[in-house]
Structure 1
């Protein structure tokens, strides 16, 4: 077990608690966690994110830190990753003084490839290191094809309370463009199986604006979502990320990039259908059937909360200090096996940077942004956005209008100009 106040980083440096006036270097070996950053830990919500870097196949639009078995070869495996993860979680709890965890989110990658027993072991590592609050929200992402009734029953017994299923579309030709391998009807069946296993909170993810997707395709996807009985939906516009297979196809002219006007129309269509079914937006890309159905873990991100990100490439944030792990699973495991935390880099956010993030993230929430958060010049810009119909006001807060949600990035730029 590593000492509770110092842990070695990849190149022999230290991740440790420092004095309040010590600077945080952008390189891992000199990363110091200032004492001021940990003030209040344990008195405010604390989350743990676990990154599972494994996928059976690579989706053409995805730029996440993921690897197929063929890409990894013998350099890393789920077993070596899990052993390293246990060490990181134990070290993190010792370093931070073990704040009890309020939310856990296991993402990836494809966490369901670990199977029910593997995901149970992941949660046991969090529980052993930090401990879980009695009402902790525990989410795992899952690919519908790698789930079953037995899988859902196993993870429910282990303590998971929420499942997020990657659906993307109910149209087979849209799934083919995205390189998704699940069958169109499987996500709805998986959602029903999760509910039957005792999961009250189930999310389905949609992607809209895929080349070749029609309004009728989107309507069929929404019909499927609404028959699944889920209490949460996330819907994201397709973004063509540099370095992906989809970006290469667009560059070669084999497919077209999503059209902004079409994306706006699709968003309005999604929002109208979900709202009519009782699912209300609480963040620009997220809808929930009730306050209890909202994803508390993600709300922690959007509110500038504290969390430890464990796993290859995972990012963490505590008290205005952010750091991130090395990306490759083999390097990640090697560092931890040698008694070093796998920190690749870090930054200490300035007051101005924290303000920028508070505005950028807070304005996307249906609860809105408190007027008091904005500087006088920013309030002038916000009032101008009210006049333009992009923001409304409610109980001392600025809230995006329906039109404002379509132009949220522009609203933020104007506020912070």
Structure 2
């Protein structure tokens, strides 16, 4: 289970949204994130809102699709009552947890409920994450027939010892089998990797990246391992049982991944994401980085509409109980100030290859011009693009993206 939810304002039981949510809505796209919080085991590094069978306290996986569909219907009424314009869903993403622990028919039913409530744009990206041990060709075919067109496989590593350290239980050979089966069915594919596990060598990381590339997926994500407070991994490191990730080695691994992926025809479009051409980037993730609107369904899911952000109660039992009473499952919310929305744009937009507007940076920080001159001198941003009005990170800049943001947002 993840850490505590944010501290915010009370969320109204009827889910009603303030007037701000509708301002400019016609100029923003609308998206759905569906959280499936079930896992067979808890990985030692995981801080997501997930639950194993022994932690469900009466909640049943077999009931979950119906509970989610109740929230979909609830959300449609809230959006209509708020006076937001009718917008079709531009993308749908099922994440977890392990969405593919549910029958494919349940995922398809939830997707159909979203389609009935909002409609979905033609050829919209519809993704589910998948544990490679939980899917086969028949399961993937049912997903495709139910309207899914993209599968993101949780690979993490090709090295058994690294998977053991991360407490990932899947068979690494099943990743390539799953990717091949999905491609055969015409589904787009993505593979997720994690680098920096305690004890992982640069050679082992190379093996993982090269193995992922050999599968010829459309998209690869590579995330640095973050040691989250409260996780088993954090306790193991604190106790001296495992070594803390080495920042310099992390940087070497990122540079190696970027080089290998570029040589294989992948383009980076966000600090941790690469795709084979612009047609294969994750449109759903781009919606987050572009501050569009999305409704997050499920326990602990976060939503954002027009600068109004809210988050659901975490446990599946509490979540289901609120909906059964006809109430919003939200635990709290906040209405972002204009300043906060601008700062979040800086935080997000600097991470993408299209870059951050220099004018936006100067709007947030009057001293941005001096800072940008320093970024150019330190080769953190592309000089030509910066002179042209856009901050585009170099490879060195990507490694220090968080530092750049802190400087731009400094008071």
1:251-330 mapped onto 2 (5 Å cutoff):
251-330=238-317
Q: How many angstroms does 1:101 deviate by?
A: 0.5
Match of 1:165 in 2: 153
Query: Does structure 1 retain, via aligned residues, the 8 Å contact 2:210–2:260?
Result: no
1:94 to 77, 81, 84: 77
Q: How many angstroms does 1:341 deviate by?
A: 0.9
1:410 to 394, 403, 407: 403
Q: How many angstroms does 1:386 deviate by?
A: 1.2
For residues 184 and 49 of structure 1, the distance between their equivalents in structure 2, rounded to whole angstroms, comes to 27
SS in 1 for 2:334: strand
- Partner deviation per Cα, 1:105-149 (whole Å, 9 max, x = no partner): 000000010121121112112112111111211010000000100
For residues 329 and 208 of structure 1, the distance between their equivalents in structure 2, rounded to whole angstroms, comes to 31
- Partner deviation per Cα, 1:226-251 (whole Å, 9 max, x = no partner): 11110100000111111111111111
1:192-207 mapped onto 2 (5 Å cutoff):
192-199=180-187, 201-207=188-194
Match of 2:20 in 1: 36
Q: How many angstroms does 1:39 deviate by?
A: 3.1
How many residue pairs end up in the alignment? 392
Match of 1:64 in 2: 48
Identify the range of structure 1 (159-168 vs 377-386) with the bigger mean alpha-carbon deviation. Answer: 377-386
SS in 2 for 1:33: coil
Q: How many angstroms does 1:396 deviate by?
A: 2.2
- Whether 1:388 aligns to 2:378 is yes
For residues 41 and 79 of structure 1, the distance between their equivalents in structure 2, rounded to whole angstroms, comes to 36
1:14-33 mapped onto 2 (5 Å cutoff):
26-29=9-12, 32-33=16-17
Using structure 1 for the length normalisation, give the TM-score.
0.91
Match of 2:332 in 1: 345
Using structure 2 for the length normalisation, give the TM-score.
0.93
For residues 338 and 24 of structure 2, the distance between their equivalents in structure 1, rounded to whole angstroms, comes to 18
SS in 2 for 1:298: helix
Identify the range of structure 1 (106-115 vs 25-34) with the bigger mean alpha-carbon deviation. Answer: 25-34
For residues 27 and 209 of structure 2, the distance between their equivalents in structure 1, rounded to whole angstroms, comes to 40
- Partner deviation per Cα, 1:317-352 (whole Å, 9 max, x = no partner): 000110010000000000001100111000011111
Consecutive unaligned residues in structure 1, runs of 5 or more = 1-24
For residues 378 and 16 of structure 2, the distance between their equivalents in structure 1, rounded to whole angstroms, comes to 45
For residues 53 and 321 of structure 2, the distance between their equivalents in structure 1, rounded to whole angstroms, comes to 18
Once superposed, what is the RMSD of the aligned Cα atoms?
A: 1.5
Identify the range of structure 1 (382-391 vs 281-290) with the bigger mean alpha-carbon deviation. Answer: 382-391
Match of 1:5 in 2: none
2:61 to 63, 69, 78: 78
SS in 1 for 2:73: helix
For residues 43 and 91 of structure 1, the distance between their equivalents in structure 2, rounded to whole angstroms, comes to 24
For residues 243 and 203 of structure 2, the distance between their equivalents in structure 1, rounded to whole angstroms, comes to 19
Match of 2:29 in 1: 45
Q: How many angstroms does 1:264 deviate by?
A: 0.2
1:228 to 215, 219, 222: 215
- Whether 1:400 aligns to 2:393 is yes
Q: How many angstroms does 1:36 deviate by?
A: 3.0
- Whether 1:111 aligns to 2:99 is yes
For residues 88 and 154 of structure 1, the distance between their equivalents in structure 2, rounded to whole angstroms, comes to 24
Q: How many angstroms does 1:56 deviate by?
A: 0.7
For residues 70 and 229 of structure 1, the distance between their equivalents in structure 2, rounded to whole angstroms, comes to 38
- Partner deviation per Cα, 1:70-90 (whole Å, 9 max, x = no partner): 1114x1012332222111111
Q: How many angstroms does 1:366 deviate by?
A: 0.6
For residues 385 and 220 of structure 1, the distance between their equivalents in structure 2, rounded to whole angstroms, comes to 34
Q: How many angstroms does 1:42 deviate by?
A: 4.7
For residues 245 and 175 of structure 2, the distance between their equivalents in structure 1, rounded to whole angstroms, comes to 24
Q: How many angstroms does 1:155 deviate by?
A: 0.4
For residues 399 and 263 of structure 1, the distance between their equivalents in structure 2, rounded to whole angstroms, comes to 22
Query: Does structure 2 retain, via aligned residues, the 8 Å contact 1:93–1:99?
Result: no
- Whether 1:379 aligns to 2:397 is no
Identify the range of structure 1 (160-169 vs 115-124) with the bigger mean alpha-carbon deviation. Answer: 115-124
